[in-house]
Amino acid sequence: MLLTSLLRIILTRSLKPFVFNGKHKEALEFEDLDSLGLYVHIPFCRSICSFCPYCKEEYNKALALKYKAALLKEIELVCKDTNKKKSVTSLYFGGGTPSLMIEQLSEIIEKLNSFFDIRDGIGVELHPDDINDETLSRLKNIGITMLSVGIQSFNKECLRKIGREYAGFEEKLLLIKKHNFSVVDVDLIFGIPGQNQEILRNDIDTAFRCGATQISTYPFIDFTFANNEYKPLSHKQKKEMLAALNEKCLELGAQRTSVWTFSKKDTAKYSSVTRDTFLGFGVSATTLLKDVFKINTFSINEYINRVSKSSLPTSLTLDFTVRQRAVYYLFWSAYGLQINEANFMKIIGRPLKKIYRFEFFIAEKLGLLTRKDGIYYLTDKAAYIYHYLEQEYTTAYIDKMWNISRKTAFPQKIVLK
């Protein structure tokens, strides 16, 4: 907490905290942004996993249908002032378990296609229970090109500790392989109690052997509002596991594409979080534009109510100062291990070197960054520091924000110091 506050003060050169307020605008300015992504949140699951912090509830068909209608309406409200189709990078469906609304996904895609040209494909998060020939064929038929599968671990004991059951994951991944999706991302968790480096190495090996083109590894984080019976391993153990993970992936010929993701060479990336700007639709979805960050309400019923009144379901808005936006940009670019000076200039409107000359000079001297052709690259040493920071940030900011948003549909204000 202290560390994130200190960093915020240094990098923004101000004591001003991040202030999210309950007032919102009905019009979003995104027409001039040239690398915009799309995200749609599907908040339904068959059952609820104890470790999961995301916005979701148990599936209910009647509610899901009302939710779909509200989603279509939200898309129309956001795009009502667009004159021509806007080119966007990609579309990701996350959740929750998007495949529970497989019958409605094509309608949602069609609606988005009427306003946007999606250049780099459509991705969907897939629960292992939904991996079967029929679902995979249907996903392909509606235009899905990328899958992210929440395996978490192939080890039965680790799965038990996070309230999951093993269900022939290797065969399921091999089945996906037959369907030739261009990207198959496998989510794995590290730092689960009882997990050791051998188990983790075996998980990585198995994922790539069975067809993953990418693995996304997440440290087990104990959110205050999650219902975890078992607690995560210590910071030191997690750091050692991340080192083992990095070593194993390199040994298998995979490249590190962000602090927590590794991809096979010459494959596209599944990256729903590392985009410069994006529009989010659905409950809890966030939108990041040039100088504004906004979050939708976490309440499904309030989302449906608000949209039915032709008003955006925004619950909180942060109007960035230039330096706050610069910090946000740096944070997510650093997660992707590259900070591009030209992109920084495009989004922030000021040269990176002018704003952070001193910090980047020191970081280079300390061996945290290297620079080539206008791009700063994070070294492995910097990636470990980031891994630690990201967990601090999650505890200080995301945990607080999600905890309040889960209890209050439209909070008046949230201050993140």
Sign of CA dihedral 189, 177, 211, 261: negative
Among 37, 96, 191, 313, binds ligand SF4 (CB under 6 A): 96
**CB of residue 282 vs ligand SF4: minimum separation in angstroms?**
13
- Is residue 176 within 8 A of residue 139, CB to CB? The reply is no
Shortest Cβ 300–ligand SF4 spacing (Å): 14
Residue 190 token pair: 């590290």
In DSSP notation, 174-232 reads: HHHHHTT-SEEEEEEEE--TT--HHHHHHHHHHHHHTT-SEEEEEE----TTS--SSPP
CA nearest to 251, candidates 197, 205, 188, 297: 205
Question: Does 49 engage in binding with ligand SF4 (CB under 6 A)?
Answer: yes
**Cβ-proximal residues to 417 (8 Å cutoff; 6+ apart), any chain:** 5, 8, 17
Stretch that binds ligand SF4, among 7-15, 57-65, 95-103, 251-259 (CB under 6 A): 95-103
199 touches 284 (CB < 8 A): no
Q: Which is nearer to ligand SF4, 41 or 86 (CB)?
A: 41
Binding mask 154-173 for ligand SF4 (x = CB under 6 A): --------------------
Stretch that binds ligand SF4, among 51-59, 70-78, 254-262, 344-352 (CB under 6 A): 51-59
Residue 50 vs 234, nearer CB to ligand SF4: 50
Angle, helices 235-251 vs 380-393, to 10°: value is 130
Binds ligand SF4 (CB under 6 A): choice among 95, 211, 282, 336:
95
Query: In which region does residue 143 sit, left (phi positive, over 0), alpha (psi from -120 to 50) or beta (all else)?
Result: left
Using the rule CB under 6 A, which residue among 37, 123, 150, 282 binds ligand SF4?
A: 150
Nearer to ligand SF4, 57 or 291 (CB): 57
Residue number with CB closer to ligand SF4 (48 or 322) = 48
CB 57 to ligand SF4: min, Å: 9
The residue with tokens 């040039």 is 290
Which residue stretch of 90-98, 141-149, 207-215, 333-341 sits at the interface with ligand SF4 (rule: CB under 6 A)? 90-98
List the structure tokens of 375.
């791009």
282 binds ligand SF4 (CB under 6 A): no
Query: 128 or 143, CB closer to ligand SF4?
Result: 128
Quick one: which segment of 47-55, 220-228, 372-380, 390-398 binds ligand SF4 (CB under 6 A)? 47-55
C-alpha distances (whole Å) from 166 to each of 77, 172, 192, 337 are: 42, 11, 15, 33
- Angle of CA points 63, 271, 139, to nearest 5°: 50
Contact between 45 and ligand SF4 (CB under 6 A)? yes
97: contact with ligand SF4 by CB under 6 A: yes
Give the range of 7-15, 21-29, 92-100, 394-402 binding ligand SF4 by CB under 6 A.
92-100
First to last CA, the chain: 9
Q: Least distance from C-beta 56 to ligand SF4, angstroms?
A: 5
- Minimum CB–partner distance for residue 232 and ligand SF4 (Å): 16
Could you give the dihedral angle defined by the CA atoms of residues 171, 176, 182 and 185, in that order, rounded to the nearest 10 degrees? -60
Q: Please count the CA atoms within 13 angstroms of the CA of 304 that sit on its side-chain side.
A: 11
**By CB under 6 A, residue 52 contacts ligand SF4:** yes
Task: Name the residues that contact ligand SF4, by CB under 6 A.
Answer: 45, 48-49, 52, 54, 56, 95-97, 127, 150
